[in-house]
């Protein structure tokens, strides 16, 4: 697998992502992919070359043509890369959720708005 930056860079192009997403439906030839997209077969081949160089797809011979499909190992590498951030975000959320809330630390007599309650004035009678 190429490095993760190469894989993420390969997925940054919208047409390339469309090619990749088409492959998520199963192995496809260049012609099959090109039929579903508004780009030529040579352009699809170039996008597939970038995805292949990034380790995200591989091809196998099938008669006179080649079938491309997603490389599970390459996809797993991207997933693991992003999972580390997800794990960090979940840990931070857990810490925040378990911390004492600021509502439980308000001084007695404080209103929800954060202003102190004011005692009503009494009238003096002469």
Quick one: pLDDT band at residue 45, thresholds 50, 70, 90? very high
Residue by residue, what is the 3-state secondary structure of 54-69? CCCEEEEEECCEEEEE
- Model pTM above 0.75: no
Query: What 8-state DSSP symbol labels residue 6?
Result: H
Q: What number of CA atoms fall less than 13 Å from residue 107's CA on the CB side?
A: 6
Q: Which domains, from first to last, does the chain contain?
A: 4-74 (1.10.10.10)
Helix-helix angle 14-23:41-53, to 10 degrees: 80
Please check the confidence at residue 122 and state whether its pLDDT lies above 90: no
Token pair belonging to 112 = 């929800």
Please check the confidence at residue 1 and state whether its pLDDT lies above 70: no
Question: At CA 92, angle to CA 90 and CA 94, rounded to 5?
Answer: 70
Residue by residue, what is the 3-state secondary structure of 44-112? HHHHHHHHHHCCCEEEEEECCEEEEEECHHHHHHHHHHHHHHHHHHHHHHHHHHHCCCHHHHCCCCECC
């Amino acid at each position: 697998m190429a490095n993760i930056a190469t894989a993420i860079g390969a997925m940054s192009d919208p047409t390339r992502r469309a090619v990749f997403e088409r492959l998520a439906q199963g192995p496809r030839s260049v012609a099959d992919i090109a039929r579903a997209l508004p780009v030529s077969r040579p352009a699809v081949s170039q996008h597939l070359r970038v995805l292949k160089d990034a380790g995200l797809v591989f091809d196998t011979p099938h008669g006179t043509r080649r079938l491309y499909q997603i490389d599970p190992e390459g996809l797993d590498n991207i997933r693991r890369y992003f999972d580390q951030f997800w794990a960090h975000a979940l840990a931070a959320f857990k810490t925040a959720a378990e911390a004492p809330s600021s509502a439980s630390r308000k001084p007695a007599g404080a209103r929800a708005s954060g202003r102190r309650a004011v005692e009503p004035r009494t009238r003096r009678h002469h």
